[in-house]
Structure 1
Amino acid sequence: MEEVNNDTENQHAIVEFTSSEGITAGSAVSVPLNSTRTQLAILLNQTLGNNEAMPYSFWVGGSEMQNTLSEVLQQAKITNVEQTVQVVYLPQALFRVAPVRRCSAELTAHDSAILCAQFSPDGILIASGAGKGSIHLWDMNTELHLKSCVGHLDDILSINWSSDAKKFVSGDKSGILKVWDRDGKVLGTLKSHIKWITCTAWEPFHINYECRRLLSGSKDQTIKIWDSVLQREQFTLSGHKSSVTCALWGCSGRIYSGSQDGNVYLWDSFTGQRIDQLGKGNTHSHWVNTMALNTDFVLRVGAFDEMGIRPEDPIDAQEAAFNKLEIMLQAGDQTKKKDKKIKTSKSIISPQEAASLFVTAPERVLTGSDDFTLCLWDPRSPHQPISKFKRHNGVVNSVAFSPDGRYIASASFDKTIMLWDGISGRPISTLRGHVGRVYQVRWSADSRLIVSCSEDSTGKVWEFAKKQLLQDLPGHSDAVYVVDWSPNGERVCSGGKDRALRIWRG
């Protein structure tokens, strides 16, 4: 039996290319063990008969090929290369996001520190929130001020766009929420929390194309689900023993919440009942600061494509969002073959159909904590994390999955950004360059670039493939608290203590 050893120059393995749906591409072929990803991509393009070369990633036994075939075989613990090795291939994003390199606009209207900012799902608008109740809308077609949204009296701590891009919610330090349309007109005020708002999220578009329900988490230890049209509270989710710090609405209709009590709970958004808990007791020994889902990006953009376009008919748009979600989830699960069940009939997607995704789809949850650790979870097996990893030497303040769900970036007060495998939790690399606390990290829509912001008054763009700094984004005069990359990949926005919102372009 021939085994993998350190001398791979003259060794070969028999490989069989297989799609994520389990469809074999061509016949098994013998390739050198020192073959690179680029060489396998050339061979696969020839096998598939592609007229134009397509980019692919390759997986063996749940491990992604980063360098050579020999290395990934060792990671997958495959030693017998006389047997056929199944290599799963995944197409990468066809469009490429250009690295942002220059500041195209410095937008000044806030009179205190900018605390939150987010692009609309179509990439056309930005809503930014600051101290003293200040909210402003900005038009990215002109990169000019569009509207001042007047109504809050206290610091704005959360802003979140609905995935139909028609409205956004803001939450302030007094516990008040307001819903605004994209012209800056207030649609409703939601009052019930008795302490400040820490997080907000909308019900996913594929579950309800009207995007009328939203959630809010608060320092008052509760999460509330609201009907934004009726301006009525539907449920109060109680159970945390300390401030709720983060809450997300998952693809199956389940809600995930993290708290300063160190616990992460799962809730049914249709009944308001608590379903389960991630981990036994306090898996994290201190506050849960931040949370992310591998579905975050696809849920954020709903039916919009990379050009910011979506079907006009709402049911067609809902089906497009549902199909896009299923494709993303199936592509992200390298452990088994999938039965592709793309929805094509023109009908409204039921809560039961959405809930079925919890059983069939590998939605993963990532939590980051004050205890310097991150935990990666499969909520279908909630009592043990897939991986618990501690490489940071400071508070983990921000975590984010790449849009394709395959990688993780985490930002810490230890001044570093760490990259992880989004399926196994395996550490990949540490990015160093900031000289102050790193507050936030965000991915480009093609999963190739990362932007970060820091106490050191800079933003930075990092290239994932080379694991290195690509571009500094200087210009702010003080700490940069927030950063966001537009879903269409065209712009980055950054804001912070100097009260200016800066727009960056390639």
Structure 2
Amino acid sequence: MKLWKPDGTLLRTLGTHPVEAWAVDSSPDGTFIVSGSADNTAKLWAPQGQLLHHLKGHQDAVYAVAVSPNGRRIASGSIDGMIKLWNPEGKLLKTLQTKSSDNTAIFSLCFDSRNIKLFAASDNGTVQQWDVSTGRLLNRFHAGVNLRAATCSPTDQQLITADGNGKVKLWDTRSNQVIQSWTSNLKGDGFLNIARFSPDGQTLALTTWDQRLETWSITLWTVQGQQLTTLVKHQGEIRAIAFSPDGKTLVSGSFDQTMAVWDIEQILQLDSLDFACSWIEDYLKTNQELKERDRALCSGITRQLL
């Protein structure tokens, strides 16, 4: 576990799990970081590097962790099908378990913006909705095939799910009804792996594996399903993405042992300019009334980001 500055400078090394760390999240006020590992445990860390608490109790790898928006609850989800709720002092508050037939691996967790509900995405394609205070299962609904990603909007009572067929759905968490849905433009067999909302709740980042092209990428979308751009950099599976608090930067981490810091604001501006230049490309080439120097207006504007 390492902490970095946005410019790539290493701040400090926190500590380690004996095997792979699969998930990480942090408290909204920055006072602690939680990690989940294939060693069947989660750990709470201080930003200064000290191990605060070792959260034990799962019977298999901890694949998902989440901190509530108010920082008062921590959820851990495991391949064993169990979800555990903890407080920041490391005390186990509740173990959430449905009937044994539903105990499939938990791949994604998120708290709603009001700290009332916890959503858990399972590999059987269902989303479980839990009451955080009582630990009661409120609802269960089918959201897709080979479901890997579910993320709660930070600003509204909405949930995004993304599945193994490239299907993305925006849900109203009050009614559990689909508000919007679209299919990611996978060019071959592949799947969507991780989803994250921007802090203002208006932009969605999805990590995508395209089997035919053998590429991992990040696609940015509006919540209405309009694709904004595609970011390609990593050579291995993208295991983590996160927006900065101001939404201007996106960070991604990969099994290729690299991290990438994306200037989202600049990228989207460049994409808009690229689109405009593409639209007038023939005009610049063929219009006889243009001066020669004007034909180079779009020189240097490339489509490398797409």
Same fold (TM over 0.5): yes
Partner SS state of residue 150, structure 2: strand
Which amino acid letter does the alignment assign opposite residue 242 of structure 2?
R
Question: Of 219, 232, 245, which residue of structure 1 is paired with 2:148?
Answer: 245
The 2-side partners of 1:397 and 1:435 are apart by: 9
Partner of 2:58: 152
Partner of 2:122: 218
Partner of 2:251: 451
Which amino acid letter does the alignment assign opposite residue 257 of structure 1?
T
Greater length-normalized contact order (CA 8 Å, ≥ 6 residues apart): 1
Partner of 1:202: 111
Shift of 1:367: 4.7
Report the TM-score when normalising by structure 1: 0.45
The 2-side partners of 1:275 and 1:463 are apart by: 31
User: What is the number of equivalent residue pairs in this alignment?
Assistant: 258
The 2-side partners of 1:183 and 1:460 are apart by: 32
The 1-side partners of 2:65 and 2:54 are apart by: 14
Question: Of 160, 163, 166, which residue of structure 2 is paired with 1:259?
Answer: 163
> Does the CA contact (< 8 Å) of 1:188 and 1:229 recur in 2?
no
Question: Of 5, 20, 23, which residue of structure 2 is paired with 1:116?
Answer: 23
Give 1:158-173 correspondences, 5 Å limit.
Answer: 158-173=64-79
Which amino acid letter does the alignment assign opposite residue 131 of structure 2?
D
Residue by residue over 1:400-448, the C-alpha shift from the partner in whole angstroms, topping out at 9 and shown as x without a partner, is: 68xxx8xxxxxxxxxxxxxxxx9974548x675x565554343433455
The 1-side partners of 2:260 and 2:266 are apart by: 15
Give 1:48-87 correspondences, 5 Å limit.
Answer: none
The 1-side partners of 2:64 and 2:31 are apart by: 19
Shift of 1:282: 8.3
Partner of 2:293: none
The 2-side partners of 1:364 and 1:462 are apart by: 14
Residue by residue over 1:480-499, the C-alpha shift from the partner in whole angstroms, topping out at 9 and shown as x without a partner, is: xxxxxxxxxxxxxxxxxxxx
The 2-side partners of 1:465 and 1:162 are apart by: 27
Which amino acid letter does the alignment assign opposite residue 289 of structure 1?
N
Alignment gaps of 5+ in structure 1 = 1-96, 300-362, 373-391, 406-421, 468-506
The 1-side partners of 2:171 and 2:128 are apart by: 11
Alignment gaps of 5+ in structure 2 = 268-306
1:297 aligns with 2:204: no
> Does the CA contact (< 8 Å) of 2:250 and 2:261 recur in 1?
yes
Report the TM-score when normalising by structure 2: 0.70
Shift of the 221–424 alpha-carbon distance from structure 1 to 2, 3 Å rule, reads closer
Residue by residue over 1:81-100, the C-alpha shift from the partner in whole angstroms, topping out at 9 and shown as x without a partner, is: xxxxxxxxxxxxxxxx9634
Shift of the 239–426 alpha-carbon distance from structure 1 to 2, 3 Å rule, reads closer
Q: How big is the alpha-carbon RMSD for the aligned residues of Structure 1 and Structure 2?
A: 3.5
Shift of the 396–187 alpha-carbon distance from structure 1 to 2, 3 Å rule, reads same
Percent sequence identity is 21
Shift of the 393–262 alpha-carbon distance from structure 1 to 2, 3 Å rule, reads closer
The 2-side partners of 1:458 and 1:283 are apart by: 25
Shift of 1:133: 1.2
The 2-side partners of 1:282 and 1:458 are apart by: 25
Shift of 1:237: 0.8
The 1-side partners of 2:97 and 2:91 are apart by: 18
User: Which of the two has higher C-alpha Rg?
Assistant: 1
Shift of 1:212: 2.7
Residue by residue over 1:340-373, the C-alpha shift from the partner in whole angstroms, topping out at 9 and shown as x without a partner, is: xxxxxxxxxxxxxxxxxxxxxxx4555554447x
> Does the CA contact (< 8 Å) of 2:53 and 2:90 recur in 1?
yes
1:232 aligns with 2:232: no
Partner of 2:41: 134
Shift of 1:194: 1.9
Which amino acid letter does the alignment assign opposite residue 451 of structure 1?
V
Partner SS state of residue 199, structure 2: helix
Give 1:394-413 correspondences, 5 Å limit.
Answer: 394-396=214-216, 398=218
The 2-side partners of 1:268 and 1:461 are apart by: 31
The 1-side partners of 2:107 and 2:52 are apart by: 26
Partner of 1:478: none
Partner SS state of residue 244, structure 1: coil
Partner of 1:6: none
Shift of the 364–441 alpha-carbon distance from structure 1 to 2, 3 Å rule, reads closer
1:179 aligns with 2:88: no
Shift of the 233–441 alpha-carbon distance from structure 1 to 2, 3 Å rule, reads closer
Shift of 1:228: 1.8
Shift of 1:263: 2.7
> Does the CA contact (< 8 Å) of 2:200 and 2:247 recur in 1?
no
> Does the CA contact (< 8 Å) of 2:78 and 2:106 recur in 1?
yes
Give 1:260-409 correspondences, 5 Å limit.
Answer: 260-272=164-176, 274-276=177-179, 278-279=181-182, 286=189, 287-293=191-197, 296-298=198-200, 363-365=202-204, 367-371=206-210, 393-396=213-216, 398=218
Shift of 1:254: 3.0
Shift of 1:198: 1.1
Residue by residue over 1:104-139, the C-alpha shift from the partner in whole angstroms, topping out at 9 and shown as x without a partner, is: 332334221111111111111000110131211111
The 1-side partners of 2:141 and 2:237 are apart by: 33
> Does the CA contact (< 8 Å) of 1:155 and 1:172 recur in 2?
yes
The 2-side partners of 1:298 and 1:465 are apart by: 14
> Does the CA contact (< 8 Å) of 1:109 and 1:136 recur in 2?
no
Partner of 1:80: none
- Most deviating of 259-268 and 458-467: 458-467
The 2-side partners of 1:400 and 1:180 are apart by: 32
